[in-house]
Amino acid sequence: MNTRKTLCVNEKGHLAIGGCDCVELAKQFGTPLYVFDEDYLRGMMRIYRDTIAKEYGDGLVLYASKAFSCEAMYAIAKQEGIGADVVSGGELYTAMQAGFPAENICMHGNNKLPREMDYALDCGVGLLAVDNPAEADYLDCAAAKRGRVQDVLLRINPGVEAHTHKFVQTATPDSKFGFSVQSGAAEEMTRHILDKKNLRLKGFHCHIGSQIFEKQSFCLAAEKCLAFIADMKKKLSFEADTLNLGGGFGIWYTDEDEKFTFEGYAAYLRALIGAVKEGCAKYGLKQPRLMIEPGRSIVGEAGITLYTVGAIKEIAGVRKYVAVDGGMFDNPRFCLYESKYTAILANRADEQPTELVSIAGKCCESGDLIGVNMNLPEAKTGDILVVLSTGAYNYSMASNYNRNFIPPAVLAKNGTAEYIIKPQSYEDLVRNDVIPDRLKQTD
Ligand SMILES: Cc1ncc(COP(=O)(O)O)c(C=O)c1O
């Protein structure tokens, strides 16, 4: 198991997070339940923030809020003095509701809607990362209407293949994101934006993918971006003053993954910073303002999901299913990417695993699994099963499939847990349903 001071087995042999006994949390809040370790996620924000400040100087960490977006997360990011990246009007609205400073927000998206861009301008968002020509045209007019000049980045594709699942690679030649440096599309778009009176091109953005462990992919992407900056300086006399290298740092899900400490992430970032400094020296560039956008690594390992074990079905010679009261509606990542996780029994966290099981959800869908071939002690109905490292892309990808409730979330710290997302009710599920009058006729 991946333990730490705030995620450990307590004297009762129960799993504890943020000083809270998971068995007690399950009694107090019910299951399924997302639980977040506040100290861990603050620790991650601080390590990135402080490493940039100490090793680089001018820079900003943007929490990639797609990983887990709720008002409390923006409130924490604000307290920690970091920025946020948002990818929709909904994420932006949530940040605004939490009183997040708009100037520290960068808005992304390969197909931002006109109403989302208008909303971003009205909120005073610091940066938008332009990802198609029509968007540049729209933003230019929208900024002009408001009598403003809007700061933007251009999303470029440096063509670096990161070693990760193909659905989370974003800088391959066949990507819906960014403009290829290699094909000349990035240069053309740079010219396009520089021609806009009401847009100020601050620099470039790239994001090569997610759940990446190799430092070399990031360093190569940085090098390629700086080469492009140098090229634009030479050809267009435009020297970028911001370079946003996106997110993507990997986290521990199972023992097949590397396990980084806070210091390990600092070392990762130092390597990236080293590559940026080297690239600037190589190409004779001033050091741009450096941005990074970690999401998964801030919140992923901070979060766990608690379930109650229900049905247990053993198919002789085939497999054993341990079913829980959640499933693909709270964690669709196995269905999407066959993502691997580690599970333990919170009420018997000190017991060694004895068998391989598949953890099934409760949805009417054969593929509704949390994982296959997972190591567990022999589970019994009523056990509290915990899946680790579920903080990122679980709640944010959750749905009400089969009209199940999206579970609530609590934030745990120093032995106390409080709701940051309240439970849903049956009324919530039908809140937006409408029966047209003609369907109410009974004859
Ligand atoms: C533009 C951008 N920035 C940042 C991130 C965050 O990546 P991660 O959660 O892997 O750190 C993503 C994730 O897809 C992204 O698309």
- DSSP single-letter state for residue 287: P
pLDDT at 173: 64
pLDDT at 172: 63
Atom from ligand 1 closest to the CA of residue 295: 9
Strand partners, 68: none
Length of the chain: 443
Counting other chains too, the contacts that 57-60 makes at CB distance below 8 Å and 24 or more residues apart are 57/287, 58/287, 58/289, 58/290, 59/289, 59/290, 59/291, 59/292, 60/104, 60/289, 60/290, 60/291
Whether 162 lines ligand 1, by a CB cut-off of 6 Å, is: no
- pTM metric for this prediction: 0.96
Whether 203 lines ligand 1, by a CB cut-off of 6 Å, is: no
The rounded Å distance from CA 434 to ligand 1 centre is 36
Rounded CA separation 274/56 (Å): 9
Structure tokens at 440: 């109410």
Rounded CA separation 103/121 (Å): 11
User: What three-state secondary structure class fits 396?
Assistant: helix
Rounded CA separation 127/205 (Å): 11
The rounded Å distance from CA 266 to ligand 1 centre is 18
- Catalytic positions are 364
Structure tokens at 115: 């109403």
Residue nearest to atom 4 of ligand 1 (CA): 247
Atom from ligand 1 closest to the CA of residue 297: 11
Rounded CA separation 7/412 (Å): 11
Burial of 441 by CB count in 10 Å (0-12 exposed, 13-18 middle, 19+ buried)? Answer: exposed
Whether 248 lines ligand 1, by a CB cut-off of 6 Å, is: yes
8 A C-beta contact, residue 190 and residue 239: no
User: What three-state secondary structure class fits 230?
Assistant: helix
Pocket mutation for ligand 1, best pick of 62, 154, 179, 207 (most atoms within 8 Å of C-beta): 207
Buried b / exposed e over 356-375, threshold 16 CB at 10 Å, is ebbbbbbbeeeebbbbeebe
Ranges of residues in the chain whose predicted pLDDT is under 70: 162-174, 443
Pocket mutation for ligand 1, best pick of 41, 85, 292, 397 (most atoms within 8 Å of C-beta): 85
Strand partners, 84: 63, 105
The rounded Å distance from CA 299 to ligand 1 centre is 12
8 A C-beta contact, residue 417 and residue 28: yes
Q: Which amino acid is present at 186? A: A
Rounded CA separation 243/241 (Å): 7
Q: How many CB atoms lie within 10 A of CB 439?
A: 8
pLDDT at 40: 98
Whether 18 lines ligand 1, by a CB cut-off of 6 Å, is: no
Residues 6 or more apart in contact with residue 405 via CB below 8 angstroms: 423, 424, 425, 428, 429
Whether 155 lines ligand 1, by a CB cut-off of 6 Å, is: no
Rounded CA separation 136/139 (Å): 5
Q: What are phi and psi of 399, to 5 degrees?
A: -145, 175
8 A C-beta contact, residue 193 and residue 163: no
Q: Which uninterrupted H or E stretch holds 226?
A: helix 215-236
Whether 67 lines ligand 1, by a CB cut-off of 6 Å, is: yes
8 A C-beta contact, residue 3 and residue 350: no
Report CA-CA distances (Å) from 417 to 77, 217, 302, 409: 19, 38, 14, 10
What structural domains and CATH numbers belong to the chain?
A: 7-30+302-430 (2.40.37.10), 38-299 (3.20.20.10)
The rounded Å distance from CA 186 to ligand 1 centre is 20
Rounded CA separation 58/165 (Å): 32
pLDDT at 177: 85
Whether 85 lines ligand 1, by a CB cut-off of 6 Å, is: yes
pLDDT at 442: 79
Residue spans of beta strands (DSSP E) within 11-149: 15-17, 20-21, 33-37, 59-64, 83-86, 105-107, 127-130
Rounded CA separation 333/393 (Å): 8
Atom from ligand 1 closest to the CA of residue 294: 11
Longest dimension (CA), the chain: 81
Whether 303 lines ligand 1, by a CB cut-off of 6 Å, is: no
Residue spans of beta strands (DSSP E) within 104-174: 105-107, 127-130, 150-157
Rounded CA separation 4/399 (Å): 31
